[in-house]
Chain A
Amino acid sequence: MDFLTIIQILDSTIRLSTPLLLACLAGLFSERSGVFDIGLEGKMLIAAFFSAAIAAVTGSVWLGLLAGIASSMVLAGLHGLASITFRGNQLISGVAINFLAAGMTVLIAQDWFRQGGRTPSLIGAGRFAPIELPFAGALADVPVLGPIYSELLSGHSILVYFAFAAVPATWWILFRTRFGLRLRAVGENPAAVDTAGVSVVGLRYAAVGIAGILCGIAGAYLATALQAGFVKDMTAGRGFIALAALIFAKWRPWHAMGACLLFGFLQAIALRFQNIDLGGLIIPVQVMDALPYILTVVILAGFVGKAIPPRAGGEPYVKER
């Protein structure tokens, strides 16, 4: 394997990690506030569809992005309504949201575009164009560092840079602001937050709303930057890999980035090579597909440091009288 191949694999690692990272941070906000969210997949999917559909109709990818975020927020609101206001089962609500998105996207796409549940291919301003970092062209010939800068770091869409910038932002919001302190507290001990006179319901809705925005961006990235248009079930389990990454990272932002890069790397490898030959030992491609899930189970089992979720996670808060 030569240097350029490695650069190319790392480059696609970054591309493939981005939707995982955005969805993972979405889950991080939601679950830190005590609302389990297995509907990441569905929110990404509906955002992918609406961003591609609006971008195709209007020709503007930015309007598409807004539409994607808005549709994802609608599902997030539904999740909030079910799990916060009506104190229903958060996991069941998440399952329902995933199915709702899987069905509605195809239904609307078929009715709207009549192309078998896909949107027309996006061209020109309908997609996010790659951004060349300054001097990327001039530095390309510098040995080693040149390709790293011009191939690996430069030339991604703006959403990629946004996703990676969101990591320190998330860390700062959660661990350095009053809002973040309260948000984490509401996921650990909502009664204490309530006693302090802060609205548990308000905080949880805020967290679920942030998750909606981030999932919306993740979906829009899939349909308008990574690929050019929406196809049926295009999230392909990424929401669940993001969930796995969240547990792998033990609900911490910087670790989430590490986990998403690792899982993105596995996807990039699986995409490029079919079966990997390690000196006689052949690793079939299916092992690479299953590895994120296997790693998550191992982490969950507590063999490599225990993953402890936010204590009030999954439980609706009932005010005492």
Chain B
Amino acid sequence: MDRMPKWADVVLIPLISLILAAALSALVILGIGEDPVAAVKLMVQGAMGSTYGWGYTLYYATNFMFTGLAVAVAFHARLFNIGGEGQAMLGGLGVALVCLYIPWPHWTLALIGACAGAMLFGAAWAAIPAYLQAKRGSHIVITTIMFNFIAAAVLNYMLVNVMRPQGSMDPASARFPEAVQLPTLHELLLPLGINFSKAAPANVSLILAVLACIVVWALIWRTRLGYEIRAYGHSETGALYAGISPVRITMVAMLISGALAGLMATNNVMGEAERLVLNSTEGAGFIGIAVALMGRSHPFGVFLAAILFGFLYQGGAELALWTTIPRELIVVIQALVILFTGALDNMVRIPLERLFMSMNRKRRNRGEGAPLPERKPTQPSE
């Protein structure tokens, strides 16, 4: 028997966790002597009050969709990929190499090439931790953390010693050629008669991110591989018994995860900065953890959570601009979301389960709801 209706698990628990996180965030804002209601108003105004605000919100959301999906796919195989940050950094390197050293005639072709480069580099960076987990039992959380730091060093080396244009002091690659610049939402929506803000960085890779959500959904719930990944995530021994190879699933799930994290670079490197800079990922790989947890590892949930975090990021930037609240408020909110939806999940779940069970019992005692059929004594109990 289910302890709880499904909708409560999918909607109610994340919602309560989110409300708890929001309430604590409001207390934090009160604690530093600011007005939470005014702060929320300012954030909504700044992030959704204009197409400029929406452009930034969607730009951030694009990043978080990719990294959230990356974490979610790994979660389905019960792997905790904390290395989205490093994989996205390497994805950026892949994009930069593709954009700088291949003469592309048009941005559409360049985007396909950049996707390939980003996925290849991201997946490659996830491949070593995946192999070590699958073959040698090294804990994937620790190895992916280490690979984040190694990625930062690799990127630093590449930018300072190899890709920096001559005469430039800035540790960054050269600017990408005109031909590979991705159209922004302004250019995309203008033919439709919508005048979207010119200055906002949201670009065509938003569509790519939405496509990725759909593809991941189809992969996880509509293909044999997705079934195998979920089976492995639910029970390793069960999967093994069914003839599913743990080594193969670990490798494949992590490669997909790394490729998705790498794809983020089409947005932040190719779409926005148009060159590779140090710390181009700005922690988006870690926000993917919060996004995947809040979205319950479901692509649609990830999509919504990514937009919420996009809103928080843009709203937080506006707050920092107009009030004395620093941007780090968003880091605190992010921490609280991870805490409540991830680590303290049982704190919400256990009382809620009790509540639903006692409600079921009452309804049954009163004889309401679906009347229970007469049971034969031989029937095994549920």
Contact = CB atoms under 8 A, between A and B. Distances in A.
Contacts of B138: 297, 300-302, 307
B153 interface: yes
B343 A107 contact: no
Interface string B145-163: 1110110111011001100
B18 interface: no
A100 B335 contact: yes
Contacts of B381: none
Contacts of A102: 328, 331, 335
Interface string B296-335: 0000000000000000000000000000111011111111
Contacts of B32: 107-108, 110-111
A114 B325 CA distance: 11
Interface stretch (A18-26, A83-91, A183-191, A258-266): A83-91
A99 B335 contact: yes
Given A103-B330, A290-B153, A301-B132, A95 B82 contact: yes
B237 to A, nearest CB: 16
Contacts of B150: 290, 293-294, 297
A40 to B, nearest CB: 11
Contact of B136 (A243, A294, A301): A301
Nearest to A246: B142
A270 to B, nearest CB: 11
A106 interface: yes
B289 A92 contact: yes
B362 interface: no
Contact of B154 (A114, A290, A301): A290
Contacts of B143: 297, 300
B338 interface: yes
A50 interface: no
B23 to A, nearest CB: 15
A95 B338 contact: yes
A244 B324 CA distance: 38
B324 A247 contact: no
Size category of the A interface is: 35 or more
B326 A107 contact: yes
A96 B153 contact: no
Contacts of B346: 86-88
Interface in B341-382: 342-347, 350
B286 interface: yes
B243 interface: no
B293 interface: yes
B80 interface: yes
B252 interface: no
B289 A95 contact: yes
B20 interface: no
A144 interface: no
Contacts of A287: 153, 157
A121 to B, nearest CB: 20
Contacts of B193: none
Nearest to B146: A293
B343 A82 contact: yes
A93 B343 contact: yes
A88 B343 contact: yes
Nearest to A297: B146
A202 to B, nearest CB: 19
A240 interface: yes
A89 B145 contact: no
A192 B325 CA distance: 51
Contacts of A92: 80, 289, 293, 338, 342-343
B248 interface: no
A301 B128 CA distance: 10
B146 A244 contact: yes
Contacts of A286: 153-154, 156-157, 160
Contacts of B33: 111
Given A96-B335, A100-B336, A106-B326, A88 B344 contact: yes
A107 B147 CA distance: 29
B335 A97 contact: yes
Contacts of B161: 284
Contacts of B343: 82-83, 86, 88-90, 92-93, 96
28 contacts: A36-B141, A81-B344, A83-B343, A87-B346, A88-B344, A91-B80, A92-B293, A92-B342, A96-B343, A97-B335, A100-B336, A102-B328, A103-B329, A104-B28, A104-B332, A108-B32, A111-B32, A243-B142, A287-B153, A289-B152, A293-B146, A293-B147, A297-B138, A300-B132, A301-B136, A301-B138, A302-B136, A302-B137
Which are the 5 A-B pairs with shortest beta-carbon distances?
A: A103-B331, A99-B335, A103-B332, A93-B343, A290-B153
